[in-house]
């Protein structure tokens, strides 16, 4: 806890009052959503009425951090631990012989122990090469959806191989994946016992490529072209799905006591819009690691609030376990901190520093402290270039050329320069030194990437 946060807690003990009755929890994770693709974050091109209404009814998290790509963000949510603890720095590819380490306790484990029904509808992406790595072995009672990304939205195949399952069994069925996930989420809500709390984790495959949408979703966007038009249709389908999920909660009499959390898993790749942030998915610039996010629970979370305090995906782990009446006692240390006082009562961020690490591990890392962010090369320049080149290779066309080369050391003031254009490292030597020391402490015991671990 930072000195400012500690002082706040000491001066205002009433903020530590008892949490409300434990809620149902619906966590909506949107794949590859751009920071400014939705209206609540300034988007003008794509209609997202349901998402925008829920954001307005709750609190928008303007400085909410995730990881540069899919799998690491999912690991931070489910463990409350940075990739430096788990080794999940990069994407877990199909049939890779690694995944989220089995020693990790998951959010689903904790909430299940607290009496919750634990359900996942959507993309897993944390390993499937052995049954013990699958959702049903990681605290979830039910899984419907797929294990990896780049899924064809109509055939449910990746590279010609079916990737669609119900509770670990391959499932061949027709339908647009966003619709199928929507319908399954609604079924779960409708059959949920009224006296049992629900944790429903919905990691949509939308709006991740390939860019595919039913024609009806494209018609409202005749002025958009190519993949931008298709992304608009895909996001419109996700918005519609969320509306149906909300309506099911209402009809089941659960909506008033449901905490809805919404976030992207990383910054958007082209043609996603990350305005005004620099760069995109795969980088540790703000455009790669700052997510479009909000939380909504009327009567408990302030409506119409835009929160600028820095928070991270790891923080939902202890926060949700605490709200759910679960135990935070565990063998492995937790990096996440309770964000509830910040979210609901105006407390400062519980963090004195937030860590960002690249897809190659601590080769390239950044630390956010207050309004400042330091990016630093922590290995050979050649290793960093390999990492940067890997990020560029995932971008297409002109946008790839816009990905700037990482500097060995960079310092940005994010309030004055959210686009990270002015490197102030040379003019702030004392601040750089202090932030380098804090970053070194965060990286001190970093484990190697999981995909580099010895195979068994």
Enzyme catalytic residues: 70, 125
Helix or strand run (H / E) with residue 145: strand 142-146
Q: CB burial class (10 A; 0-12, 13-18, 19+) of residue 160? A: exposed
Residue 169 burial (CB count, 10 A): 6
Q: Which residues pair with 321 in a beta bridge?
A: none
Contact 154, 212 (CB under 8 A): yes
Phi, psi of 296 (to 5 degrees): -135, 125
Residue 359 burial (CB count, 10 A): 25
Contact 286, 312 (CB under 8 A): no
- The interaxial angle of helices 177-191 and 226-251, nearest 10 deg, is 10
DSSP track, 354-419: EEEEETTEEEEEEEEETTEEEEEE-S-HHHHHHHHHHHHHTS-HHHHHT-PPPPSEEEEETTT-TT
Contact 314, 67 (CB under 8 A): no
Contact 69, 281 (CB under 8 A): yes
User: Which residue bears the tokens 């709390």?
Assistant: 197
User: Which residue bears the tokens 């797929």?
Assistant: 146
Contact 125, 91 (CB under 8 A): yes
| 284 half-sphere exposure, CB direction, 13 A CA radius | 31
Is residue 390 reached through a cis peptide bond, with omega within 30 degrees of 0 on the bond before it? Answer: no
Instruction: Using alpha carbons, select from 455, 30, 8, 449 the residue that is nearest to residue 281.
Output: 30
Phi, psi of 409 (to 5 degrees): -150, 130
Alpha-carbon distance 326 to 320, whole Å? 8
Q: CB burial class (10 A; 0-12, 13-18, 19+) of residue 240? A: middle
């Amino acid at each position: 806890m930072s000195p400012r946060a500690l002082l706040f807690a000491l001066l205002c003990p009433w903020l530590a009052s008892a949490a409300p009755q434990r809620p149902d929890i619906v966590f909506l994770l949107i794949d590859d959503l751009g920071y400014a693709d939705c209206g609540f974050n300034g988007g003008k091109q794509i209609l997202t009425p349901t998402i925008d209404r829920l954001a307005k009814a709750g609190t928008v998290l303007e400085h909410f951090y995730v990881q540069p790509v899919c799998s690491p963000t999912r690991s931070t949510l489910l463990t409350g631990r940075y990739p430096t603890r788990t080794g999940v720095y990069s994407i877990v590819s199909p049939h890779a012989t690694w995944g989220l380490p089995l020693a990790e306790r998951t959010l689903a484990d904790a909430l299940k122990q607290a009496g919750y029904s634990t359900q996942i509808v959507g993309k897993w992406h944390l390993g499937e090469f052995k049954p013990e790595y699958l959702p049903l072995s990681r605290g979830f009672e039910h899984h419907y959806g797929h294990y990896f990304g780049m899924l064809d939205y109509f055939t449910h195949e990746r590279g010609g191989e079916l990737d669609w399952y119900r509770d670990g069994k391959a499932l061949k069925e027709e339908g647009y994946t966003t619709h199928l996930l929507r319908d399954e989420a609604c079924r779960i809500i409708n059959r949920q016992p009224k006296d049992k709390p629900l944790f429903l984790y919905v990691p949509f495959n939308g709006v991740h490529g390939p860019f595919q949408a039913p024609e009806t979703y494209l018609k409202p966007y005749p002025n958009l072209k190519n993949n931008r038009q298709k992304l608009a249709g895909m996001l419109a389908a996700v918005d519609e799905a969320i509306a149906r999920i909300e309506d099911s909660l209402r009809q089941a009499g659960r909506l008033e006591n449901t905490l809805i959390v919404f976030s992207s898993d990383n910054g958007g790749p082209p043609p996603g819009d990350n305005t005004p942030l620099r760069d995109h998915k795969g980088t540790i610039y703000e455009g790669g690691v700052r997510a479009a996010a909000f939380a909504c629970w009327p009567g408990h979370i302030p409506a119409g609030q835009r929160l600028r305090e820095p928070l991270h995906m790891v923080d939902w782990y202890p926060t949700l376990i605490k709200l759910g009446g679960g135990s935070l006692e565990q063998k492995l240390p937790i990096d996440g901190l309770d964000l509830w006082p910040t979210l609901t009562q105006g407390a400062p961020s519980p963090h004195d520093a937030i860590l960002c690490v690249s897809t190659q591990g601590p080769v390239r890392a950044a630390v956010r402290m207050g309004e400042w962010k330091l990016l630093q090369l922590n290995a050979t320049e050649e290793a960093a270039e390999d990492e940067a080149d890997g990020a560029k290779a995932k971008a297409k066309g002109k946008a790839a050329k816009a990905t700037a080369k990482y500097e060995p050391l960079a310092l940005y003031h994010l309030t004055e320069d959210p686009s990270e254009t002015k490197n102030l490292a040379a003019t702030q030597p004392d601040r750089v030194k202090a932030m380098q020391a804090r970053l070194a402490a965060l990286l001190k015991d970093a484990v190697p990437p999981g995909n580099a671990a010895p195979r068994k």
